[in-house]
Structure 1
Amino acid sequence: MRAPEDPDRAELIRLMTDPITREYLGGSVDYASRQALELSPLGLSWGHWVIARAEDESRMIGSITLDYDRGELELSYALLPEATGQGLAAASCRQLLAWAQENLEDDHVIAVTQTRNKRSVALLQRLGFSVRRGLEEFGSQQLMMERSLETALPSAEEIAAFTPPYAPAAWR
């Protein structure tokens, strides 16, 4: 993870407008929001980082945030389609949660994901999140999940070995 930089702008816009990436995130941003992304300075807001591979830190493959938009510390992440399914979201979330445990005074963190986004629900469960409540946003059913920041994070091995409770037999 690193701070966003101006060369990330094209990939950030792609992340915000890609229909596959945005399927579970309320859809692509509108034209006005895209224009704002094209014109706004990057890297000036707290809690927003770029996800990049260690071997090519200059190329953004996703974004991850910790912010207080809902009045509580909230984790959010998104990867470009070609970067999904490789453990990058898990590693980035674990790294950011570890940072939050070390540097913030919050006692918990929330995350919101669509109920039909099974991969994201499973990732959050692997990271130790549990369901707080359901809600509706962007015309879809969502889960607000939470985890204590006072509880130890699972190891990378535990995260990789976790099988979600709803997993098909082929996953077990």
Structure 2
Amino acid sequence: MNRFPLLLAPSLRLEPVSVGHAEEMHAVLADPSIYEFLAPEGPPTLDWLKAAFERRSKGASPDGSELWFNWMVRRVDGRLIGYVQATIEARDRCWIAYVMNAEARGHGHATRAATAMLDYLLATHGVTRFLASTETRNARSIALLSRLGFEPAPIELAGTVDIETTDRLYQRLHASA
């Protein structure tokens, strides 16, 4: 049972991840353009994806120290186009990530999906700082983060997190409730 709800955004449904999404998402993740700035090993196997979705659908790490939120992003025509996800380590440390396939890019889907996720996490969990890292050459991701209100994180903060040497850390701050 998922510990987070279905979310709606204009022309999109954000469905809580389930093992049932694995086969359809496996096809989405076969898009080679997704891996331009991601890990070089390429798409995951279907078995790996099923196991990952089983873990992620529980909504928390095994020890309960992290809350996990994973939504599959579906257009209103029913096509699965990507995902958005967040990991809350603490109210001031919530990591976000997103992946959209090539057909989804340039239509505002990532912005609408991520906004719905951020709004939910703010309202429901009182997150005060969102974090994201992206490859410094990934102009699409940097532009998305900017549209979402993220700014480059201070060097001091960037030095306290484990990110790739080619990545840049971004943050979006919110006042405490």
Both proteins in one fold, TM over 0.5? yes
Unaligned runs of 5+ in 2: 1-13, 60-67
Q: Provide the C-alpha distance between the structure 2 equivalents of 1:15 and 1:24, rounded to a whole number of angstroms.
A: 16
TM-score under structure 1 normalisation? 0.71
CA–CA separation in structure 1 for the residues paired with 2:125 and 2:141: 24
Paired residue for 1:73? 94
Report if aligned partners of 2:128, 2:175 keep a CA contact under 8 Å in 1: yes
Is it true that 1:128 corresponds to 2:149 in the alignment? yes
Q: Percent of pairs identical after alignment? A: 24
Change (3 A) 1:73 1:18: same
Name the counterpart of 1:37. Answer: 49
Q: CA deviation at 1:14?
A: 3.4
Cα 1:106–1:12, aligned 2, differ >3 Å: closer, same or farther? same
SS in 2 for 1:10: helix
- Distance change in 2, residues 1:27/1:149 (3 Å): farther
Tell whether the 8 Å contact from 1:48 to 1:63 is kept in structure 2 after alignment. yes
CA distance in 2, matches of 1:50, 1:129: 22
Equivalent-residue separation in structure 1 for 2:52 and 2:167 (angstroms):
29
Q: Which residue of 2 aligns with 1:146?
A: 171
Structure 1 residues 42-87: Cα deviation after superposition (integer angstroms, max 9, x where no partner)? 433330110011232xx32101101147992111000112111111
**Structure 1 residues 50 and 149, CA, compared in 2 at 3 Å: closer, same or farther?**
farther
Aligned pairs for 1:1-172 within 5 A: 1-29=14-42, 34-39=46-51, 42=54, 43-45=57-59, 46-56=68-78, 59-68=79-88, 72-132=93-153, 133=155, 137=164, 141-150=166-175
Q: What do you get for the CA RMSD once the two structures are aligned?
A: 2.8
Change (3 A) 1:39 1:98: closer
Q: Structure 1: which 5+ runs fail to align?
A: 152-172
Q: TM-score, normalised by structure 2?
A: 0.69
Once the 2 structures are TM-superposed, how far is the Cα of residue 117 of structure 1 from its aligned partner? Answer: 0.6
| Aligned residues of 2:69 and 2:86 also touching (Cα < 8 A) | yes
State the AA in 1 paired with 2:40. G
With over 3 angstroms needed to count, the CA separation of the structure-2 counterparts of 1:89 and 1:41, relative to structure 1, is closer
Task: Read off the aligned partner of 2:48 and give its amino acid letter.
Answer: A
